[in-house]
Amino acid sequence: MSFTIFRVVLTSVALVTASLVSAQSFAHHSFAAEFDINQPFEVTGSVTLIKWTNPHARLYIDVEDENGEIVSYDFELTSPNILMRRGWSRNDLQPGDRVRVSGHRARSRATVGRATGISRENGEVVFVGGPGGGAGSDN
Amino acid sequence: MQTTLHAAGLIVFLSAMSGPLSAQWPAFPTPGVPLTSDGEPDLEGPVPRTADGKPDLSGIWERVNGQRGPVEGQLGRGPKVSPPPGSPPVAHFFDIGAQTDVPYTPWADEITEQRMADNARGNPDAYCLPIGHMLYHLHPQPRKIIQTPDVIVILYESNSGVRQIFTDGRSLPDNDALPWWFGYSIGRWEGDTLIVETSGFRDDVWLDYNGSPLTSSGKIIERFHRTKYGTLEIDITIEDPMAYTEPFTVRVNQRIMLNTNLYEFVCLENEVSSRYFYESEE
């Protein structure tokens, strides 16, 4: 492979990698009205549904609580438009996948949150997010 | 041979940028991109011109980093940051006055404080409504400028924003029956800078996520300057005697996005957040 093509490939790989790990931006800004930055929380459960819709993709998971009861959680993600620009697709998570989700709790509902980080049980990051609402943690 | 290498490099670059095979958006190369000697896009390259010799602002533009606001997503007016050398104060999505003391009237100061105390619940963005010049300029989703001799159209991916800037020599109307979400804009060229005047706003425009207001007595002057192939600087002067004791100017920086297009964004297709705003009061 010529040196020029090699350099372009290397640059392309670096760009794709950078876009996947950089923080999420948000569309439809309503974080402060809906979520509490002072209530971070984390749950682990099984995906039941992904809604790949605007203004926010939504991730629904079933979590087993300490009593063995199943509780359904509804997590708000960023716009699918922004997820797709980061390299994610609607097929990256499937019903039944086990995930750990961290985020901030809604002010009015304990089982609703704005997700800031989603990872599989093996630690692989999915739909990486930035803290809080608004447009992600760019500097 | 050089052309073949460039083409091969571009194909590899595009293949990589289009993401996993299951990604839905086909990459389509932006035409006419200047290249460096290494075959990479030259974002420092010359500004393209239209047939009538004007700088061509056409393209897909994204917000440059550093114009969002607090990382924690909190509202509020934080400590002022100095503007970059040689730049007017840079506006942030959360706070138009991130780098300057905004000359609020007492009324406007109180309105902004109320809106922040209410967690910006009245922000039009939360209801998928048009979000006004500043929030559109600073939104994380891209916008597409389409320049023709008589009108420049800006399509905003977020909240179906559409602005028309009439460059056919007309004046601002003084008899509009309807206050506009987007205002009424006219533009003219001064050298390589497009000067845009907009008036006819509604009374409830938000200039930032904190809630800095703009009213129907407001006027916005924008200066669009494409300084290099990949760089667009927009200087925005806000005038509104109801809300600000004197005009003030801020800057927005944007960067070209290549080999892409706007996605569809129908904000209302599954807007469920607003139902939670009011539940918290019960």
ipTM, two decimals, is 0.80
Mean pLDDT for B129-153 is: 96
The class that CATH gives domain A3-126 is mainly beta
Structural domain span for residue B174: 59-257
pTM, 2 dp: 0.84
Query: Would you say residue B184 lies in a domain?
Result: yes
Vertex A124: Cα angle to B264 and A126 (nearest 5): 15
Min Cα separation A8/chain B (Å): 6
- Find residue B161's DSSP bridge partners: B156
Give the helix/strand (H/E) hosting A60: strand A58-64
Residue B73, pLDDT score = 64
What residues of chain A lie within 8 A of the CB of B22, using their CB?
89, 91
Bond preceding residue A80 cis, omega within 30 of 0 = no
Judge: A54–B70 Cβ closer than 8 Å, yes or no.
no
What residues of chain B lie within 8 A of the CB of A32, using their CB?
73-75, 119-121
Lowest-pLDDT choice from A98-107, B62-71, B137-146, B210-219: B62-71
Q: Evaluate if residue B26 carries a pLDDT over 90.
A: no
Average pLDDT, chain B: 89
Query: Would you say residue B248 lies in a domain?
Result: yes
Q: Evaluate if residue B209 carries a pLDDT over 80.
A: yes
Half-sphere exposure (Cβ direction) of A24: Cα atoms closer than 13 Å:
32
Mean pLDDT for B221-240 is: 98
- Structural contact between residues B245 and B109, judged by C-beta atoms closer than 8 angstroms: no
Vertex B99: Cα angle to A78 and A18 (nearest 5): 40
Judge: A53–B123 Cβ closer than 8 Å, yes or no.
no
Judge: B276–A25 Cβ closer than 8 Å, yes or no.
no
List pLDDT tens digits, range B175-206. Answer: 776 888 999 999 999 999 999 999 999 999 99
Please name the member of B19, B141, B276 whose beta carbon is closest to the beta carbon of A112.
B276
Judge: A51–B8 Cβ closer than 8 Å, yes or no.
no
Please name the member of A30, A53, A82 whose beta carbon is closest to the beta carbon of B126.
A30
Query: Would you say residue B13 lies in a domain?
Result: no
Lowest-pLDDT choice from A34-43, B62-71, B132-141, B253-262: B62-71
Query: Would you say residue B176 lies in a domain?
Result: yes
Residue B30, pLDDT score = 94
Q: Encoding tokens for residue B208?
A: 């930032």
Residue B61, pLDDT score = 97
Number of domains making up chain B:
1
Q: Evaluate if residue B82 carries a pLDDT over 90.
A: yes
Query: Would you say residue B122 lies in a domain?
Result: yes
Identify which has the larger pLDDT, B71 or B247. B247
Residue B27, pLDDT score = 73
Give the helix/strand (H/E) hosting A19: helix A3-21
Please name the member of A15, A31, A81 whose beta carbon is closest to the beta carbon of B17.
A15
- Structural contact between residues B95 and B208, judged by C-beta atoms closer than 8 angstroms: yes
Residue B254, pLDDT score = 98
Cα–Cα distance between A92 and A99 in angstroms, integer? 12
Nearest CA in chain A to B74: A32
Query: Would you say residue B172 lies in a domain?
Result: yes
Collapse the DSSP code of A27 into the 3-class scheme (helix H, G, I; strand E, B; otherwise coil) and give the result.
Answer: coil
Query: Would you say residue B221 lies in a domain?
Result: yes
What residues of chain A lie within 8 A of the CB of B160, using their CB?
none
For chain A, which ranges sit under pLDDT 50?
A: 8-9, 11-23, 129-139
What residues of chain B lie within 8 A of the CB of A107, using their CB?
276, 280
Cα–Cα distance between A46 and A62 in angstroms, integer? 5
Residue A127, pLDDT score = 80
Cα–Cα distance between B276 and B260 in angstroms, integer? 35
Cα–Cα distance between B67 and B278 in angstroms, integer? 30
